[in-house]
Amino acid sequence: MNKPLILITNDDGFAAAGIQALARAVASLGDIYVVAPEGPRSGSAAAITSTIPVSYKELSGPAVAKGYPEDIHLFACTGTPVDCVKLAWDNILPKRPDLILSGINHGDNASISAHYSGTMGAVFEGCMKGIPSIGFSLWLQRGQRYEDYPVSHATLDEIGVFCNRVLQQSLPQDVCLNVNMPTLDKVRGWRVCRQARGRWEAEWASATNPHGLHSFWLTGDFHDLEPEAPDTDFAALRAGYCSVVPVTIDLTAHAVLEQISKLTD
Amino acid sequence: MNKPLILITNDDGFAAAGIQALARAVASLGDIYVVAPEGPRSGSAAAITSTIPVSYKELSGPAVAKGYPEDIHLFACTGTPVDCVKLAWDNILPKRPDLILSGINHGDNASISAHYSGTMGAVFEGCMKGIPSIGFSLWLQRGQRYEDYPVSHATLDEIGVFCNRVLQQSLPQDVCLNVNMPTLDKVRGWRVCRQARGRWEAEWASATNPHGLHSFWLTGDFHDLEPEAPDTDFAALRAGYCSVVPVTIDLTAHAVLEQISKLTD
């Protein structure tokens, strides 16, 4: 029997609880290769490492965190999530993967946050390589700590079912999925939706520094610009659903090609 | 008279020839603020700095590189191109900018390379903030060195005319522009087009290391997957035109929403 090969990465690092949960959720579906950053890479977007070399090492035996399923192939990489997918593709995997998963991210990647997301950067990369690819992220509301809201067993079971459907049915060309999940014991279901329009504001907090250097921590308040719209990812999350946004790697704004042509007349 | 405020950034750093040329190209159009990384940040995509604080400093007098126009406001930032836009927005600019420009990048950002591009990351950020934003990149073919192919005076003049049109006419909501330019003394014109389908392959070169560590440099060969298509960015570049791709920050693959819904039934 030819078992499917599933590559898993993330942007919180191989030791994060979320990637271990994701690996457990799909362990029964195929051979699992985890190739993930050695440490946190939040906000990496689709960044690649171009100014220094990157390396990776296989972790085995006692070095494998207890949260991973048995029989996993685990590699830690010095680069970004996209580097992880590229390194796995060229140098680690024994064959072409059947599915690429990323997450489960600590914090949501709904609305425009998908642009900054290292979780989704890896998913774009998988999609660019022609492989069905899905990112999973957990919507933590203000004051909620990831440690207090692990994804429930019921939701992990649903992730497994969903990933198996994607393995069976594949995804359209150049389309990947951005899945965000509420912190509920039992989600109400899965809802396919579009990316909400949003904006980050007040994004910097002054950082104190013992040497007097004036510097800033990135922070910010997110504003949903269409809070009444029923068909967005945030609307789905607020209603207790997992949001599933099909995402295209074709960035072209096809609808305005003609309008923009007037700029070059 | 209320002069337009133009914010310029890039991913090659404030000292790069390309950003200085871009500043000269638009110097007559408004007040120019350059807020750019202190050094190279190629491949940053829309990455943000989340694990360490960032800082910036104003450069003035002899510290300003000779290639910049007079009366420029120049700031160097420790972060990514997106950080530069965010820092400028919250902490540096005296008012809301009228136009955000990024580049001129050393190397093209056509086809899927736009996903990895720090140049375009800053442009997405400007667009997310509701400002007309344009990225400019120079298409260098194999063996061409940036130093040997500066953008010609004629093309810089055309950049000024184009940016002035965008200042006057603005851009559609949630749409920014990805402009790539051939290395010609005189381009044949500007062509509005779509992102070519493409793929990077053979992306790693072994890096030798005096300590015996096995590591890899990111490299690769780009393949245009639709070389015969007449309406792509690479088709425009090969024909001697500047390619202008309108890019949307809405990543949703609207055309397949219904098809994907079947996965969640």
Per the CB < 8 Å rule, is A215 touching B89?
no
Per the CB < 8 Å rule, is A46 touching B46?
yes
Tell me the chain A residues in contact with residue B129 when contact means C-beta distances shorter than 8 Å.
Answer: 199
How far is the alpha carbon of B75 from chain A, nearest alpha carbon, in Å?
A: 14
Tens of pLDDT, residue by residue over A211-244, are 888 899 999 999 999 999 999 999 999 999 999 9
Asked whether B68 and B99 are in contact (CB, 8 A), the reply is no
Flag whether B202 is in a domain: no
Q: Assign residue A115 the CATH number of its domain.
A: 3.40.1210.10
Flag whether B153 is in a domain: yes
Cα atoms in the 13 Å half-sphere on the side-chain side of B54 = 27
Q: What is the CA radius of gyration of chain B?
A: 19
As a whole number of Å, the end-to-end CA separation of chain A is 60
Tell me the chain A residues in contact with residue B44 when contact means C-beta distances shorter than 8 Å.
Answer: 45, 47
Flag whether B150 is in a domain: yes
pLDDT of residue B212: 81
Per the CB < 8 Å rule, is B260 touching A250?
no
Flag whether B209 is in a domain: no
State how far the Cα of B201 lies from the Cα of A86, in Å rounded to an integer. 9
Chain B residue whose CA is closest to A55: B215
Residue A101: CB atoms within 10 Å = 32
DSSP three-state, residue B102 = strand
Question: What is the ipTM metric for this complex?
Answer: 0.96
**Of the partner residues A46, A215, A253, the one whose CB lies closest to the CB of residue B248:** A253
**Of the partner residues B189, B195, B257, the one whose CB lies closest to the CB of residue A192:** B257
Asked whether A244 and A193 are in contact (CB, 8 A), the reply is yes
In total, the C-beta contacts within 8 angstroms joining chain A to chain B are: 229
Per the CB < 8 Å rule, is B264 touching A44?
no
Retrieve residue A85's tokens: 């997918």
Q: How many domains does chain A have?
A: 1
**Of the partner residues B40, B217, B263, the one whose CB lies closest to the CB of residue A169:** B263
CA B47 to chain centre: 14
Average pLDDT over residues A7-30: 96
How are beta strands A189-192 and A198-201 bridged, if at all?
A: unpaired
| Whether pLDDT at A5 is above 90 | yes
Flag whether A208 is in a domain: no
Written in H, E and C, the secondary structure of chain A is CCCCEEEEECCCCCCCHHHHHHHHHHHHHCEEEEEEECCCCCCCCCCCCCCCCECEEEECHHHCCCCCCCCCEEEEECCCHHHHHHHHHHHHCCCCCCEEEEEEEEECCCHHHHHCCHHHHHHHHHHHCCCCEEEEEEECCCCCCHHHCCCCHHHHHHHHHHHHHHHHHCCCCCEEEEEEEECCCCCCEEEECECCCEEEECCEEEECCCCCCCEEEECCEEEECCCCCCCEHHHHHHCCEEEEEEEECCCECHHHHHHHHHHHC
Flag whether A99 is in a domain: yes
Owning domain of residue A138: 5-196+228-264
Tens of pLDDT, residue by residue over B180-239, are 999 888 899 999 999 999 999 999 999 888 888 889 999 999 999 999 999 999 999 999
Asked whether A87 and A56 are in contact (CB, 8 A), the reply is yes
CA angle B96–B102–B107, rounded 5-degree value: 175
Flag whether A69 is in a domain: yes
State how far the Cα of A89 lies from the Cα of A92, in Å rounded to an integer. 6
Flag whether B215 is in a domain: no
**Of the partner residues A112, A169, A254, the one whose CB lies closest to the CB of residue B194:** A254
Per the CB < 8 Å rule, is A40 touching B55?
no
Tell me the chain B residues in contact with residue A209 when contact means C-beta distances shorter than 8 Å.
Answer: 53
Percent of chain B with pLDDT over 90: 84
Chain B residue whose CA is closest to A44: B47
Residue with tokens 């390619």: B243
DSSP three-state, residue B209 = coil
Tell me the chain B residues in contact with residue A129 when contact means C-beta distances shorter than 8 Å.
Answer: 199
Asked whether A195 and A114 are in contact (CB, 8 A), the reply is yes
Amino acid identity at B52: I
Predicted confidence band at A160 (pLDDT cuts at 50, 70, 90)? very high
Tell me the chain A residues in contact with residue B209 when contact means C-beta distances shorter than 8 Å.
Answer: 53
Retrieve residue A107's tokens: 């914090």
Per the CB < 8 Å rule, is B115 touching A254?
no
Per the CB < 8 Å rule, is A129 touching B199?
yes
Q: Which helix (H) or strand (E) holds B162?
A: helix B153-169
Average pLDDT over residues B72-87: 97
Backbone angles phi, psi at B121, to 5 degrees: -55, -45
**DSSP letter at B79?**
S
Per the CB < 8 Å rule, is A218 touching B50?
yes
pLDDT of residue B1: 59
